């Protein structure tokens, strides 16, 4: 249990003033205040710690990597415990198993009440449950992940292009187009297809991948989405896009998007990391340095089978992150800006992602014990 960069609206003090808490502008401002402040305001404003289901899913995925490399009874107990927690936290009254965040969330494009399921959270969790299924052979976990496909196919809105391709919405409550969100939906559909061989799953996955690939820029990059204020290009969402397309090809056997991965990866590896090993957030600036960026580098290289080819860069970035963004107590900081660093120990954004990244680095390959930082 812990805090999250976006959990400001869980403040009991904020909720106690309906005139303020009902205002879209004030919700946006309050979230940004908590997200950007290097001082943790959560105790002052009575924000309780809580379970974040996506964070739990990332921890589960990491423990599954560790268990596959070195099976122990203690490791199995951790997996079982996290599976139990995740199954208890499903959102209800939807077409399939799905998950959201443990806080209200006001974005510029839409408002999502607490526990509103999103494709991002649901896919990371369902994917982790499939990792656990591969260890335990518990058919109920495959059934749950298949059920998440029903949530994606039936509850999410679709935005179509002129060729019959489409992107899934972020949640059932919005119609936004966010490329990494649509691609994450495609990734799960393709992975479940690799188990069930249902034509419906892979056909929808391919159309969704095609939509995002058709919006890839000529230099290989993607904006965050299609709205005018979603045109920034950042590191970890680019990494999301690449790993999702790669997984789609792996699970479907369809290599028709190979050129998109090639150009996208060239852009990614050449624009988001400095010679000193500093992981950039945006393509145009170093700051803020976000811990999510080095974590995603590990995942992207592993998914694209590029870890060995870029090991000097990978090690340099990880060592820089450990030296500059890890507390002596062990936890990782959230962001470093030009003049200050936010050292708040966020569970989902920082600890879960770095745990998942480091377990991937150490345990992903059979010979990875020789590659430890």
Instruction: For 178-201, write each residue's pLDDT tens digit.
Output: 999 999 999 999 999 999 999 999
pLDDT confidence of residue 247: 98
pLDDT confidence of residue 12: 95
Residue 171 in this model has a pLDDT that exceeds 90: yes
Q: Residues 317, 273: contact at Cβ < 8 Å?
A: yes
The beta strand positions in 75-157, using DSSP E, are 105-106, 111-112
Across residues 329-358, what is the average pLDDT? 95
Tell me the pTM: 0.94
- Comparing 239 with 338, the larger pLDDT belongs to 239
Residue 267 in this model has a pLDDT that exceeds 50: yes
pLDDT confidence of residue 111: 86
Residue 19 in this model has a pLDDT that exceeds 50: yes
Distance CA 262, CA 3 (A): 37
pLDDT confidence of residue 169: 96
Residue 185 burial (CB count, 10 A): 29
pLDDT confidence of residue 368: 43
Six token digits for residue 65 = 């990597």
State the average pLDDT for the chain. Answer: 94
Confidence at 304, pLDDT banded by 50, 70, 90: very high
Distance CA 106, CA 86 (A): 24
Strand 111-112 with 105-106, pairing:
antiparallel
- Comparing 76 with 227, the larger pLDDT belongs to 76
Confidence at 366, pLDDT banded by 50, 70, 90: very low
**What DSSP state is assigned to residue 162?**
T
pLDDT confidence of residue 373: 43
pLDDT confidence of residue 110: 76
pLDDT confidence of residue 371: 44
Across residues 209-232, what is the average pLDDT? 95
pLDDT confidence of residue 367: 45
């Amino acid at each position: 249990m812990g805090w999250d960069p976006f959990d400001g609206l869980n403040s009991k003090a904020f909720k106690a003033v309906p005139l303020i808490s009902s205002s879209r502008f004030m919700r946006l401002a309050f979230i940004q205040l908590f997200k950007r402040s290097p001082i943790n305001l959560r105790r002052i404003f009575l924000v309780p710690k809580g379970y974040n289901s996506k964070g739990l899913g990332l921890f589960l995925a990491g423990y599954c990597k560790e268990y596959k490399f070195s099976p122990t009874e203690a490791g199995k107990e951790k997996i079982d415990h996290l599976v139990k927690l995740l199954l208890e936290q499903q959102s209800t009254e939807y077409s399939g198993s799905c998950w959201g965040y443990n806080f209200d969330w006001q974005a510029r494009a839409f408002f999502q009440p607490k526990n509103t399921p999103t494709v991002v959270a649901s896919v990371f969790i369902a994917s982790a449950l499939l990792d656990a299924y591969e260890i335990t052979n518990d058919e109920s976990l495959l059934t749950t992940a298949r059920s998440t496909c029903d949530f994606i196919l039936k509850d999410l809105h679709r935005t179509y292009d002129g060729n019959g391709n489409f992107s899934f919405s972020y949640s059932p409550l919005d119609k936004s187009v966010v490329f990494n969100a649509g691609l994450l939906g495609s990734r799960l559909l393709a992975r479940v297809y690799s188990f069930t061989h249902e034509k419906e799953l892979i056909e929808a996955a391919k159309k969704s991948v095609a939509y995002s690939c058709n919006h890839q820029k000529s230099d290989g990059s993607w904006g965050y989405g299609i709205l005018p204020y979603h045109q920034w290009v950042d590191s970890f969402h680019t990494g999301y896009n690449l790993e999702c397309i790669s997984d789609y090809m792996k699970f479907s056997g369809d290599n028709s998007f190979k050129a998109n991965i090639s150009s996208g990866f060239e852009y990614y590896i050449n624009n988001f990391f400095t010679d000193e090993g500093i992981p950039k957030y945006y393509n145009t600036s170093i700051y803020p340095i976000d811990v999510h960026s080095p974590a995603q580098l590990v995942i992207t290289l592993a998914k694209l089978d590029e870890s060995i080819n870029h090991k000097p860069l990978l090690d340099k970035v990880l060592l820089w992150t450990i030296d500059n963004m890890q507390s002596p107590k062990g936890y990782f900081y959230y962001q470093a800006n030009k003049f200050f660093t936010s050292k708040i120990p966020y569970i989902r954004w920082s600890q879960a992602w770095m745990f998942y990244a480091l377990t991937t680095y150490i345990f992903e390959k059979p010979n990875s014990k020789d590659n430890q930082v």
